[in-house]
Chain A
Amino acid sequence: MSNIGTLEETVLLLVMIHNGNAYGISIAEAYMEHTGKKISIPAIHTVLKRLEKKGFLKSEMSGATAERGGRRKRLFEITQGGYAVLQKVQESRSSLWSQVPKFNFK
């Protein structure tokens, strides 16, 4: 199973959250809203494409609107593999967290 970076993980999660309306712009906006960091549309496109290539996402074209000049969106949806990898990341993180002793910062 392939590894997954932080950016990829976040994007994957955002696709899951915006299920049914996950495409370049919506993900880019959600990312900025969530992290407060800027990301360009071309960068998001690249990440989405890479995730699709790894098999974590699948896509189809639909949902043309007037403001897009009548052009369709590429809507992304998480695959089983994608869901599994997210879960795995989450589990391994939880397991690590559970081993962390209690800290008392002063």
Chain B
Amino acid sequence: MAKNINTRGLHPPKLADRFLQWYCHPSLLEEIQGDLYENFSKNVQILGLKKARWIYFLLVLKFLRPSNIRNTHPKFSIIMWRNYLKTALRSMVKQKGFTFMNILGLTIGLTTALMILLWIQDEVSYDHFHDNGANLYSMKRNVYRDGGQIGTTSSIPKPLEAELESNYPEIESADLFSWEENFVLTHENTSFRANGHYVGETFFRNFTFPFIAGNPETALIDRNSIVISDRMARRLFGPSWEQDGNVIGKVIQVGIETFRNMTLQGVYEDMPSNSSLNFEFAISDKLYLQENEWVENWGNNGFHMFIKTRPDVDINELNTKIKDIINNHIPDEKVELFAQAYLDHHLYSDYENGQVVGGRIEYVRIFSFVAIFIMLIAAINYMSMATARSSVRAKEVGIRKTIGARKSDLVSQFIGESTITTAISLILAILVSVLLLPTFNNLTNKAVRIDWGNPTVWLSLLGLLFVVGLFSGLYPAFFLSSSPINKILKGSKTSKSGFSNMRRGLVVLQFVLSTFLIIGTYTCYQQIQYIKNKNLGFNKENVVYFPLEGELIQKYETFKERALKHESILKMTACVDPPTAIVRGTSGVIWDGRDPSADIEMAVAITDYDYVETLKMELLAGRLHSKEYKLDSANLVINEAAARIMGMQDPVGENIRMWGREGKIIGMVQDFHFSTMYDPIEPLVIRLDNLRSGSIFARLSSEQMEEGIGFLEDIHKEMNPDFPFTYDFLDENYAASYTSENIVATLASYFAIIAILISCLGLFGLALFAAERRYKEISIRKVLGASIPNIMVLLSKEFLILVFIAILIAIPIAWYGTRIWLDDFAYRISLGVEIFIFSGLLTLGVALITVCFEAFRAALHNPVDALKSE
């Protein structure tokens, strides 16, 4: 036919040709295509191939006129659809068991997917409520360490504020933002402890935290100003403070070392739960700056900073401009300044070598996968059950075909059915989700709710409906509509077990996903147990701690003396950072033989006497700080990691200099975990100092905890009456620092249970069906002498082989997946064989119970019932 043109290698564009063949009326196709070919071959000679092809394409489009288009069959007929709906409902009612299992499976799946969607939506919506959100940035710096490592931190030097504001017109304003402070706020006779920050003057102008009272523009101009949250206002002034008259201008005493009078200039609404900033009060940064001149130094990084840019600023350009600002002031270090979008702050907070590598976005990704997995498992259930039952619907299909239904009619009928089932399940799932939301919020520490006024919610629900409906209906639709009519109507069955390869594949896929989730959850759980129970290198049990503040700062020695007289209080110390989270560091430790150009950071524990003793760390060599030695505060105790980095086998007695003071290394303690398990133990020095802030730690005897705490409270009340006595347990504080890992592990375990549950539901349906189809076979076997176990093996063998294959496939995938997660931890469990064996056996066991239950029932049937009818 088209040989001549093809042999010359000059043929019209295939795509256009196919399009023409698709739309053109068959009776017109020959002449139109003929004319087009002829025209094309002429054009090739005159205008060249490229242009000819282009003209061909245009002409095909120009031929697209109503008169040339093939007849279209009416696509949508109300009467037919009414009939489809009727048959769909009838077949659902007729097979109540299957309908129930389908709807149950889909409801559980959709509920899980909805919950996960809500969780993801909440995570993604973090901080998006700020009107200026897109123009807010958080300043960060990359610090180039020796050995090529790059550390990323959001601590920046204070003088940067003025520099950015005056020299960079792209930046509208910059605000300092202090580390979190924990102060006591007192009004008249009510006192409460709360977390807050020193913030810059324009902070509340740039960030949208609406004020209930006061003016956000001017609230923090005066250096003795304070603004508090609604929650704090209710505590201090009573729940009806808004009605009780003006609170602006009232004096609040804030316990910063000693009490100071500050003027209340505003009350802001409680910060929403999807805000990454969440604090109860804010004080003007001017107060802090006035009293801490050291912050004026470019080498001291004492603050966070947020900036607001003009709306049209290209942040990459700005980042190139500001890159070297800090370096220009302190040339001997290599530091790179940059701004991270504030909206990215929540999800992308992990940096490695100066590049964003992730953060909570990883959990968002993991849970998205889980949602897809579970939906997939639920949809597969529908598919395999619908196709397994195909023989039941086969007669209907045959008759419809005989009467004149085309394949596309049947396909849309069956997809319609799956959509109806999905719609019913979706409605149920929404109801269940609404009921579960409070529990879910409790579990995840969120305030997620379904916002029915939001059109995206409706669109996503509709989207979910169509995707799931279409996906689960597609395969059954094609499967059912493509069997030849004569075979269906003659009543010949396709296969004896009703078990096609496709269905086998689907079962395997379901169990691969379930096993994967089980292994993942189990690993996650083990790792968290490992963290919780890991020997930290000190004893965190039976230790209470409370803030060192107010008069306690002066009277600490007396307080300690009095406390230790009580038999229940065994040891007492004080330190700036809790031993579970030592954040202070310095590069200013010098020892004999240190390479002077090397930049080596060491963590610093600033402590009182008895630090190591109270926390029961292990002294490996030398001695500890003691009052028997004069001038001991210049001497340091180091940890093993520090000794390693100094390259000393026996560090005790070596000279050491820190912050300008000459001293000796007097002792070495065993390495202990003072940071998270994500990081290896860093070098650390323990330094003796007079503390002006921090916490007091007391070790109590385990039998007399309550007496001990009671006694501490008594003397605290007596010696530091202005401050309430609030204490925490060190072990609880440690556990709380892994809250988000805990939540993830709990959620993951629920999801794994749900996945295996839905998979087994599907398996159960298939087993039920297989047993029904082989009813007569079973009966004859029984008559011929098969025992009940024989028949159970017969019925369950095939399923269990599939599950076994699935486990074999899932193990390497899960091994790989969990390795990636575990690699984040510096201290982690090793993936033992037992995890895989345990998970595999669990999956197999649950599947075995499911299948055997049905097989047992089938095997118990009286053969007469099945055989008498023929």
CB of A66 within 8 A of chain B? yes
Once A41-B36, A49-B67, A69-B1 are accepted as A-B contacts, the answer to whether A61 and B62 lie under 8 Å apart by CB is no
Q: Given the complex of chains A and B, what is the CA–CA distance between A24 and B3 in angstroms?
A: 23
In the complex, the answer to whether A68 meets B63 with C-beta atoms within 8 Å is no
A33 on interface, CB distance cutoff 8 Å: no
In contact, B67 and A72 (Cβ under 8 angstroms)? no
B1 lies within 8 A of A45 (CB): no
- How distant is B278 from chain A, measured CB to nearest CB, in Å? 67
Verify B34–A68 contact, CB threshold 8 A. yes
Instruction: Let me know if B180 is at the binding interface, CB within 8 A.
Output: no
Across the interface, B32 reaches (CB within 8 A) one of A43, A45, A61, A65, namely A45
| Complex Cα–Cα for A43 and B65 (A) | 10
Is B595 part of the binding interface, using a Cβ–Cβ cutoff of 8 Å?
no
Question: Interface readout for A81-95 with B: 1 if CB under 8 Å, 0 if not?
Answer: 000000000000000
By the criterion CB–CB under 8 Å, are A67 and B67 in contact?
A: no
Q: Which of A41, A49, A61 contacts B35 (CB 8 A)?
A: A41
Q: Tell me which of A67, A71, A72, A74 contacts B41 (CB under 8 A).
A: A67
Asked whether B456 is an interface residue with its Cβ less than 8 Å from the other chain, the reply is: no
Q: What are the residues of chain A within 8 A of B36 when measuring CB–CB? A: 41
* CB proximity of A49 to chain B, nearest CB, Å: 7
Residues of A within 8 A of B35 (CB): 23-25, 41, 45, 68, 73
Contacting pair B59 A69 (CB below 8 A): no
- Chain A residues with CB below 8 A from B3, complex form: 70
Is B39 a contact of A61 with CB atoms below 8 Å?
Answer: no
Encode B1-27 as 1/0 by CB contact (under 8 A) with A.
111110000000000000000000000
Chain B residues touching A, majority SS: helix
Give the CA-CA distance A45 to B4 in the complex, in Å. 25
Interface check A46, CB cutoff 8 A = yes
Contacts of A55 in B (CB 8 A): none
Q: Is the CB of B37 within 8 A of A71?
A: yes
B38 within 8 A of A: yes
Q: Are B37 and A46 in contact (CB under 8 A)?
A: no
Decide if B720 is an interface residue (CB 8 Å cutoff): no
Which B residues, 212 to 259, have Cβ-Cβ distances below 8 Å to chain A? none
State the CA gap A23–B33 with chains docked (Å): 13
Residues of B within 8 A of A42 (CB): 59, 62-63, 65
B296 contacts partner chain A, Cβ-Cβ < 8 Å: no
What chain B residues lie within 8 Å of A65 (beta carbons)?
A: 38
CB-defined contacts of A70 to chain B, threshold 8 Å: 1-4
A19 within 8 A of B: no
Q: Does A40 contact B (CB under 8 A)?
A: yes
Q: What mask results when residues 24 to 58 of chain B are scored 1 for a CB within 8 Å of chain A, else 0?
A: 00000011111111110110000000000000000
Inter-chain contact B30/A41, CB cutoff 8 Å: no
Contact residues of A between 7 and 58, Cβ < 8 Å to B: 23-25, 40-43, 45-46, 49
| Residues of chain A with a CB closer than 8 A to B41's CB | 67
- A54 and B37 CA atoms in complex are apart in Å by 28
Q: Which of A69, A70, A71 has the most CB of B within 10 A?
A: A69
> With the chains together, A73 CA to B30 CA distance in Å?
8
Which chain A residue has the least Cβ–Cβ distance from B11?
A69
What chain A residues lie within 8 Å of B63 (beta carbons)?
42, 45
Nearest residue (CB) in A for B31 is: A74
Q: Which of B5, B32, B42, B59 contacts A40 (CB 8 A)?
A: B59
If the complex has contacts A41-B36, A41-B59, A49-B67, are A69 and B31 also in contact, measured as CB distance less than 8 A?
no
Q: How far apart sit A33 and B63, CA to CA, in the bound complex (Å)?
A: 23
Q: Which B-chain residue is minimally distant from A48 (CB atoms)?
A: B31
Roughly how many angstroms separate A49 CA and B63 CA in the complex, as a whole number? Answer: 13
- In the assembled complex, which residues on chain A have CB atoms less than 8 Å from the CB atom of B42? 25, 67
Q: Which A residues are in CB contact (< 8 Å) with B37? A: 67-69, 71
With A25-B39, A42-B63, A45-B63: A73-B34 Cβ-Cβ less than 8 Å:
yes
Q: 29 A-B residue contacts at CB 8 Å?
A: A24-B31, A24-B35, A25-B35, A25-B38, A40-B59, A41-B35, A41-B36, A41-B39, A42-B62, A45-B31, A45-B63, A46-B65, A49-B67, A61-B31, A65-B38, A67-B4, A67-B37, A67-B38, A68-B38, A69-B1, A69-B4, A69-B33, A70-B1, A70-B2, A71-B30, A71-B37, A72-B34, A73-B31, A73-B34
Supply 12 further A-B pairs (C-beta < 8 A) apart from A40-B59, A66-B4. Answer: A23-B35, A24-B31, A25-B39, A42-B65, A45-B32, A49-B67, A64-B34, A67-B37, A67-B38, A69-B2, A70-B2, A71-B37
- Ranked nearest first, the 7 interchain pairs of A and B with the lowest CB-CB distance are A71-B34, A68-B34, A74-B31, A24-B35, A66-B4, A42-B62, A69-B2
